[in-house]
Amino acid sequence: MSPDSNFQKDWETIRKKLVDFSEDALKLAHKGEKEIVRLSAEGKKALDSATLSMKKEQLFYLVGKEYIKAKCPGQPNARISKLLEEFNTLEKKQRKLKTVKKK
C-alpha cells in the first residue's frame, strides 16, 4: 500500500478536524476580542478617575494657596469660591464615573 492511498483515505477526517479546529479558533478569537474591549474600557475608566483625583489635589493646593494669600478670611473670596465650585464639579464627575464603573 502506497503512502498516497493512506493519505486519500484519511484526508476526509483530517479535513473535518481542520475545519472544526478553525471554527473553534475563530470562536476563541471573538471571545478574546470582547475581553480586550472590556478590559480597555475598564482601564480608561480607571485612568479617568486617576486624572480627576490629580486635578482635585491640584485644586486643594490652589485653594490653600489663595486662603493663605488672603490671610485666612472668614468668608471665601471670589477666587476661592471659583476654585471650590470647580472642585465640586470634579467631585461630581468622579462620583458619576465610580457609579458607572460598578455597573
Q: How far apart are CA 88 and CA 23, in angstroms?
A: 52
Q: Is the pLDDT of residue 22 over 60?
A: yes
User: For position 2, what pLDDT does the model report?
Assistant: 59
User: For position 15, what pLDDT does the model report?
Assistant: 87
* Distance spanning both ends of the chain, measured CA to CA: 65
Amino acid at 89: T
Q: Is the pLDDT of residue 31 over 80?
A: yes
- The answer to whether 56 and 91 have CB atoms below 8 angstroms apart is yes
Record the cell numbers describing residue 51, joined without a space.
486624572
Answer yes or no: pTM beyond 0.85: no
List Cβ neighbours of 101 (8 Å cut-off, separation of 6 or more): 42, 45, 46, 49
User: For position 85, what pLDDT does the model report?
Assistant: 93
H helix runs in the chain, sequence order: 3-69, 78-102
